[in-house]
Amino acid sequence: MRELMDSCCMSQHLVESTSTGETFLVKQYRKTAEIVEGVAKMKTEFLIVYKLDEEGNAVYTQDMGDLTMLLSKSEPFCVPSTSFPGLYPNWVYILDSDQHTCVHLVDGYPLDGKTSPVAAPYLIPPQNIVY
């Protein structure tokens, strides 16, 4: 695991859940999947999710309750999975310009997602959720 993490490019995302008031820190580890016309196409290799406690400490978690997390080129966000049919709790959905995939928090590894270009890699947070 350590070798994988050391060989990747890491980015961090601060993700808020408006429905629960929780804040999460996500560390996304990506690697070059291929080089096309001199441009590296990145692929997510691993995710680690931390929940921020009341004092701001990042505590590792594999359980976000009913929440589903969505990461894209726009602002990351969480939604209650029960409010959105087809979404599952404790999953992180990733939509990027080079990849779209899903990661289950239990193991942190992505499903084999598509590494083809995505024309508009933006997910827009819902504006009015009935809780």
pLDDT in tens, the chain (131 residues): 778 778 899 999 999 999 999 999 999 999 998 898 998 888 999 999 999 999 999 999 999 999 999 999 999 999 999 999 999 999 999 999 888 899 999 988 888 766 667 778 999 888 875 66
Amino acid present at 97: S
Per the CB < 8 A criterion, the answer to whether 77 and 127 are in contact is no
pLDDT tens, residue by residue, 77-87: 999 999 999 99
Cα–Cα dist 74/93, whole Å:
13
Whole-angstrom Cα distance, residue 73 to residue 117? 13
Residue pair 118/97 in contact (Cβ under 8 Å)? The answer is: yes
Q: What is the pLDDT of residue 126?
A: 86
Q: What is the pLDDT of residues 1-22, one digit of tens each?
A: 778 778 899 999 999 999 999 9
CA atoms within 13 A on the CB side of 45: 18
> Can you tell me the distance from the alpha carbon of 70 to that of 125, in angstroms, rounded to the nearest whole number?
9
What pLDDT is recorded for position 129? 58
Rounded Cα–Cα distance for residues 39 and 122 (Å):
21
3-state secondary structure of 2: helix
Cβ atoms < 10 Å from Cβ of 68 = 23
Element (H, E) at 4: helix 2-6
Q: What is the pLDDT of residue 57?
A: 98
